[in-house]
Amino acid sequence: MRTVEAEPYAFEFDPATTALVIIDMQRDFVLPGGFGEKLGNDTSLLLAAVEPTHRVLTKARETGMFVIHTREGHRPDLSDCPPAKLDRGAPSMRIGDPGAFGRILIRGEYGHDIIDELQPLPGEEVIDKPGKGAFYATDLSEILEKSGIRRLIVTGVTTEVCVHTTVREANDRGYECLVLADCVGSYFPEFQRVGLQMIAAQGGIFGWVAPSPDVITAIQE
C-alpha cells in the first residue's frame, strides 16, 4: 500500500488495483474556440490542468497503472441524447450543431476527441459516455470489476460537473476516489474551490483530495 497526504485524511492505495481516470479532456471543452468557450466560458482554468495531468499520466504509464479516458458525447443521429439535454443551452449552440471543431459533442468529430497532449495510447480504455457520469450507460463497472480495480485517482473536467458526477457514482458503487486538485478544472474559480471542498467535507463524504506532485511521488515509491 502507498500512502499520500490528502483531505480529509491520508489516502491509501495499491497501484496494482488503482486506475487513473482522466475525464473528458476533449477539445470542445478545453481549447479556446471550442464549445465551452462559445458557451461564454473562459477555458484557461481548464488548460491549467493539462500539464499536471500529463505528468501524472506519464508516471502512471511508466509504472504500468491502469489508465481510463472518458469522453462525453453522442451518436451522430443523437439517438442517445435525451431531449431534455438536447433542448438546453443557447439555440445556436446545441449538441449536434456545427461548431468550430465539427459537430458539437458528436462521436468521431475532431472537437469530441481528447486533446493532443493527453491522447490515449493503444491498450488504454476509452469510455464514451452520453451523460455527465462515466458509469451511466457505459460498461465502466464491468471493466473495473474485470480488472480488479478498487480505487480511482481522478482528473479531468469539469470539476463540479463530470468529475463530481463520476466520483459520486463511483463512491456509491464502493470505489474509493482520490481527486487531484491541480488536475481538475472548472470554468468558474469558485466552483473549483467549493467543488473540491464538497468532496472531502464531512470526513470525505464521497472522496479524498490531494495535489498531484504528492501522488506522483507515492506512485513511484
The footprint of ligand TIU (CB under 6 A) covers: 24, 29, 72, 132, 157-158, 161-162, 187
Phi, psi of 198 (to 5 degrees): -65, -30
We find the least distance from the C-beta atom of residue 213 to ligand TIU, in angstroms, to be 24
Residues 6+ apart with CB under 8 A from 66: 18, 19, 20, 125, 147, 149
Cβ distance to ligand TIU smaller for residue 24 or 113: 24
Choose between 4 and 198: whose C-beta lies nearer to ligand TIU: 198
Please say which residue, 83 or 148, places its beta carbon nearer to ligand TIU.
Answer: 83
The nearest distance, CB 68 to ligand TIU, in angstroms, is 15
Active site residues: 24, 129, 162
Smaller CB separation from ligand TIU, 15 or 130: 130
What's the first-to-final CA gap in the chain, in angstroms? Answer: 10
In angstroms, give the least distance from the CB of 88 to ligand TIU: 10
Q: Which of 133, 14, 123, 15 is nearest to 72 (CA)?
A: 133
CB of 161 to ligand TIU, least distance (A): 3
Convert 10-49 to b/e letters by CB count within 10 Å (16 or more is b).
ebbbebeebbbbbbbbbbbbbbeebbbbbeebebebbbeb
